[in-house]
Structure 1
Amino acid sequence: MNKSVFVPGHITGFFNIENHDVSLKNGSCGVGFLLSKGVRTTISPADKLIIDVNQGDETVIDEVLNILEIDDSFKITQDIQLPIGAGFGTSAASAFSLTLAINEFLDLGYSEELCGQIAHMSEINLGGGLGDVIAQTGQGLVLRTKSGAPGIGEIKSFRQDVFVAYKTFSSINTADIIRDSHHKQILSEAGLKYLELFEKEPTVENFLSFSNKFSNETKLMSDDVKNLVDYFNSSSDILGSSMAMLGNTVFAFAYDEDVFKKLDIDDLHICELNNMGIVYD
């Protein structure tokens, strides 16, 4: 019998890096949001291990299987619905949905929390996102108040009914940035400042404003990203816009979907903020 699990994509607006000797405590604090698109992993019976991924390679899958120490025979099908390496948390969603689906298929009896810790460990080992997995256990707008894997870190969720538009220009190697001492210092100092301000008044408007200020102060925006962010922010019908961390991607919020549909922007995608979180099929 097939087992399928969907984990939403996650975009971070601003963050600071938290390094610890214990890998499961490694991560980041910050604020981001969940998307109605993400990664769906389906495990089905097979007489050998078969991996079918619609985009990208099998690196994340191999890492999760290595951590789980599983050599059973089954088919892994992954539908990655968002661009890879562009700030959507796809590697985390891939690792998390895979771990959850295998847990269901093999009836391992692991808690969702433990599955999240395995996915977080995969992220740390591969040098990927630092806070996507724990954020993906939430709904809507997600504040990460304590770094680490699920069960170790802490989050607060704020459900919001808004539409999200996004456009990706290219990918960014997250590992190159978060492992660079200069970038880490700049990101963490700015991230901590806006994190403290957001915790005092956690609103959508503040999230968008602080995200835009953070992306400008950290100087990670390409010209293409900055031009589109400025264009979105010039419209009174759009709540705000910024850069996805870490990806060469622009996102914007609006209460009315038609605001985005009327824009003449190539490759602009529209979806809703995800207030449901993880879904088991």
Structure 2
Amino acid sequence: MSNSVFVPGHITGFFTIENHEIKLKKGSCGAGFLLSKGVKTTISPCDKLIIDVNQGDSTVIDEVLSILEIDANFKITQDIQLPIGAGFGTSAASALSLTLALNEFLNLGYSEELCGQIAHMAEVNLGGGLGDVIAQTGKGLVLRTKPGAPGIGEIKSFNEKVFIGWKTFGGIETSSVISNPHQKEVITSAGEKYVGLFEDEPTLENFLDFSQNFSRDIGLMSDEVKNLIDYFNSSSDILGSSMAMLGNTVFAFAYDEDVLKNLNVENLNIDELNNIGIVYD
């Protein structure tokens, strides 16, 4: 019998980089939000191991299978609904949805927390995101108050009814940024400031303001990203706009979906803040 697990995509607005020699304690603090699109993993009976991914390769899947030391036959189907490598947390969603789906399909008996730790380990091993997995166990706006994997790090979730417009101009190699000593220092210095301010007053307005200030402070914004942010912010009906961390991607929030539909932005994608979180099917 087949089973599926959906994990929402996650965009970070501002963050710190928290290194630790213990991989499960390595991570980040910061704030971001969950999308209604993400990654859905389906496990089906099969007489051999088949991996079917609609975009990208099987690197994340191979890493999770290696950590779990699974040698069995079944079919893994992954529907990745967002661009890869552009700040949407797709590799974390891939790892987490796969681990949760395998746990159910194979009756491994693991807790959701342990599955999250396995997914976090896969992310760290591959040099990907440092906080997406734990954020993807939350709902709506997510503040990461303590770094690390689920069960070690800590988060707070805030539900909001809001629509999100986003457009990506491509990816940024996360590993090249988070491994650069100078860039890490700049990011963490700015991130600590805005995380502290947001903890004091966790409003939607502050999230958007702090995200934009952070993206300008760390100097990773391309001209095309800056121009689109400026365009979004020129509309009084847009609540705020910023850059996805880490991706060459812009997002904007609005209470009214029609506000986003009526913007003059080619290939603008419109999503909704995900206040539900992980879904088992």
- Taking structure 1 as the reference length, the TM-score comes to 1.00
Question: How many angstroms apart in 1 are the aligned matches of 2:3 and 2:175?
Answer: 32
Residue 162 of structure 2 is aligned to residue 183 of structure 1? no
Question: How many angstroms apart in 2 are the aligned matches of 1:201 and 1:171?
Answer: 31
State the partner residue of 2:113.
113
State the partner residue of 1:254.
254
State the partner residue of 1:267.
267
What amino acid sits opposite 2:95 in the alignment?
A
Matches within 5 A, 1:184-263: 184-263=184-263
State the partner residue of 1:127.
127
Runs of 4+ in 1 over 4 A off after TM superposition: none
State the partner residue of 2:277.
277
Question: How many angstroms apart in 1 are the aligned matches of 2:253 and 2:246?
Answer: 18
State the partner residue of 1:76.
76
1:4-36 deviation line (CA, Å, top 9, x unaligned)? 000000000000011111100000000000000
What amino acid sits opposite 1:45 in the alignment?
P
1:176-224 deviation line (CA, Å, top 9, x unaligned)? 0001101100000000000101111000000000000000010101000
1:107-143 deviation line (CA, Å, top 9, x unaligned)? 1000000000000000000000000000000000000
> What is the CA-CA distance between 1:267 and the residue it aligns to?
1.2
> What is the CA-CA distance between 1:149 and the residue it aligns to?
0.2
State the partner residue of 1:45.
45
State the partner residue of 1:31.
31
Aligned length: 281
State the partner residue of 2:167.
167
Question: How many angstroms apart in 1 are the aligned matches of 2:180 and 2:133?
Answer: 22
Q: Secondary structure of the equivalent of 1:72?
A: coil
Question: How many angstroms apart in 2 are the aligned matches of 1:189 and 1:171?
Answer: 23
1:31-65 deviation line (CA, Å, top 9, x unaligned)? 00000000000000000000000000110000000
State the partner residue of 2:17.
17
Question: How many angstroms apart in 1 are the aligned matches of 2:265 and 2:225?
Answer: 13
Question: How many angstroms apart in 2 are the aligned matches of 1:173 and 1:57?
Answer: 16
Q: Secondary structure of the equivalent of 2:17?
A: strand
What amino acid sits opposite 2:186 in the alignment?
I
In structure 2, the gaps of 5 or more residues are none
Question: How many angstroms apart in 2 are the aligned matches of 1:62 and 1:172?
Answer: 23
Q: Secondary structure of the equivalent of 2:13?
A: strand
Question: How many angstroms apart in 2 are the aligned matches of 1:264 and 1:211?
Answer: 23
Q: Secondary structure of the equivalent of 1:270?
A: strand
State the partner residue of 2:100.
100
Q: Secondary structure of the equivalent of 2:7?
A: strand
State the partner residue of 2:59.
59
> What is the CA-CA distance between 1:264 and the residue it aligns to?
2.1
What amino acid sits opposite 2:171 in the alignment?
S
- Taking structure 2 as the reference length, the TM-score comes to 1.00
Matches within 5 A, 1:132-143: 132-143=132-143
Question: How many angstroms apart in 1 are the aligned matches of 2:256 and 2:161?
Answer: 10
In structure 1, the gaps of 5 or more residues are none
Question: How many angstroms apart in 2 are the aligned matches of 1:105 and 1:52?
Answer: 17
Question: How many angstroms apart in 1 are the aligned matches of 2:107 and 2:159?
Answer: 32
